Amino acid sequence: MTENTCKMKNNALGFILLAALILLVVAAPLSAAAADPSIQVDPSQTGKLKVYADLSDDDLRGLQESMGFVQFVKSVEQAEVVIEIQLERQDDGSIKKNITFRGKNRFENDDDRISLLVGSDFEGEASGKKLAQGIKMTLMRYAGKTPLRDRLSIGFQAKVKPTDVVCKWDFWVFSLNASTWMNGESLYKSAMLYGSVSAVRVTPDLKVRLSIGGMNNVSEFSYDGTEIDSSSNSRSFSGMIVKSIDDHWSVGAYLGAAASSYGNTDFSLSPAPAVEYDLFPYSQSTKRQLRFLYRIGLNLVDYTEETIYQKTKESLLKESLSVTLFLKQKWGTATASLEGSHYFHDFSKNRLVFNGDLSFRLLKGLNLNLDINYSRINDQLSLPRGGASLEEILLQRRELETTYRYGFSVGISYTFGSTKSSVVNPRFGSSGGGISISF
């Protein structure tokens, strides 16, 4: 390895660590949870509680009409209480509104949170009244700490106990995917067939992801009277189960099985128990996360061809540790993760992976997205001893030896409709159960 190559590696790694450090210092405080009874207010308009809510003008007017003791201000800096509303769609079609109240100025660090379940048939006026009632109930605890308390009265209205939500699918979501692609010309034709099935169940206490998929890809070329055939295929299964222990700890396990002509693998099986700790409470996960995930597992591999290490099969113990930072600010979101892994039989067989994502809010629903990834690779144990042919290299039918991979992308996205979706259960991240297809 040349001196220039070493310098390039060190510079890239230094840039990655600097980017992760910058993201780590941008943390923002968040919320907790509670609720309270309904209120009535004296008609007096003096000394109102200053509140900011990221809602439409029509919604704000509706809230103002039912809360005479509140003054809705135009900016967060003016507010004594900031209201954030996130929607969480349930499997039965109902919507849960998670409402966070963040204290500002004299109520700094005095936060609260409630959740309202709105049926799928609740629209317009009925939904607005339910939202206004929930907000009004909680704002009372703030108003009660001000001179407004002398002009507030508390009332109680007996109501029928709401019926618990029953999901006939027990919160399971299933997905089926199948696709094919074909093209050709006089000297060339190609066809691809892909299919997958996945099942996901996510609740605050338990997350389960299961998926299975496969792909076949065939190409035929005619060159100077010679017919050249090229094909690749892959099969994979991945599963993940996560159990919430408390507001910081989670335990679970991964299971992966795969076969890939690209990866020189007839069959591989990878069970791996895991444990995760989030520095911030999971109740704050929609705004900030700093998760440490440790995995240790066994890789059982049966290779298609003998590898460069003269192996046709092997059983190896491997461990990995990842750190993931997620932040949500007024300007957008930032995510950075750094993962290191190695095999126990030879610590020089290791890998370091960095992923970073920045999403800047340009306008409501319009975002500028920046993604960067870099991997330092020293663990390609499955490379075939015979190498790859020219056709396999040009068509990317074989994995090639490399010491690094990188990628960078810039894009713009626009989201409309229910843009305030909520993370139900962020433990172990949003991945871990997806299908990985090689070609």
pLDDT at 155 (0 to 100): 67
Distance CA 387, CA 192 (A): 25
- Residue among 301, 279, 303, 304 nearest 290 (CA): 279
Between 101 and 42, the more confident residue is 101
To the question of pTM greater than 0.75 for the whole model, the response is no
Name all domains of the chain by residue range, CATH numbers in brackets.
39-154 (3.40.50.10070), 166-414 (2.40.160.40)
Torsion of CA 141, 142, 144, 150, to 10 degrees: -140
Distance CA 167, CA 217 (A): 40
Cβ-count burial 24-48 (b if 16+ within 10 Å, e if not): eeeeeebbeeeebeebebeeeeeeb
Q: For 381-409, what is each residue's pLDDT tens digit?
A: 999 887 777 666 766 777 888 999 999 99
Between 301 and 431, the more confident residue is 301
pLDDT at 40 (0 to 100): 41
Q: For 52-66, what is each residue's pLDDT tens digit?
A: 987 777 677 777 777
